Amino acid sequence: MAVLPILVAPHPVLKQKAKPVAAVDARVAAFMNDMVETMYAANGIGLAAPQVGVLERIIVVDVHEKDQPRNPIRLANPEIIWSSEDKGPCEEGCLSVPEQYADVIRPVAVRVRYLDETNTRRELDADGMLATCLQHEIDHLNGVLFVDHLSLLKRNMILRKVQKQQKASA
């Protein structure tokens, strides 16, 4: 297993669309493990492959409560096959937009179809933080960041802060 470096906006790879995996084979399963390790090392609740420079449709999420055991979920080719009409705001952050947070309005519940780490087709019903996180990660596979859901003014304000912070720490 390995902790991989995470790309920060405005890296061009974060704007690109990721390609489906043909199947979850040993290579993809091992990469999913690296993604889980990277997510935990960064204290994230999710991670999408493009964030580590890989343009394949692979995400990992874990929204377990603080006092509960870890519960990583590995998903390849995730697709939202149902979204609730009901939408609501949730404060989001992103490891590729470090230390910036803003409310994003999304459907409060979704059903996701995907291939798991054994290449088995599964469906997952999610609400709350898990639903938000899955939508945030699937956005990454389409080159979309949470700031793209905000007004141009808010988006530019956040992206400028990130660039300034990056330059200061470079």
Active-site residue numbers? 137
Residue nearer to Ni ion on the CB measure, 14 or 108:
14
Helices (H), 8-151: 26-41, 128-141
Kindly report the backbone phi and psi dihedral angles of residue 79, in degrees, each rounded to the nearest multiple of 5, phi listed first. -135, 135
List interacting residues with Ni ion (CB under 5 A). 94
Cα angle 108, 86, 152; round to 5 = 75
Overall size of the chain counted in residues = 170
Three-class secondary structure of residue 128 per DSSP: helix
Residue 95: count other Cβ atoms within 10 Å of its Cβ: 19
- Smallest gap from residue 50 Cβ to Ni ion (A): 9
Query: Nearer Cβ to ligand GNR, position 119 or 124?
Result: 124
> In the set 14, 136, 138, 147, which binds ligand GNR (CB under 6 A)?
136
Sign of CA dihedral 139, 9, 146, 49: positive
Q: If binding is defined by CB under 6 A, does position 162 make contact with ligand GNR?
A: no
The residue at minimum Cβ distance from Ni ion is 94
Of these, 10, 72, 88, 93, which contacts ligand GNR (CB under 6 A)?
A: 93
Q: Which of residues 32-91 bind ligand GNR (CB under 6 A)?
A: 44-48, 51
Q: Are 96 and 7 in contact (CB under 8 A)?
A: yes
* Binding-site annotation, residues for Fe cation: 94, 136, 140
Contact positions toward ligand GNR, by CB under 6 A?
44-48, 51, 92-96, 132-133, 136-137, 140
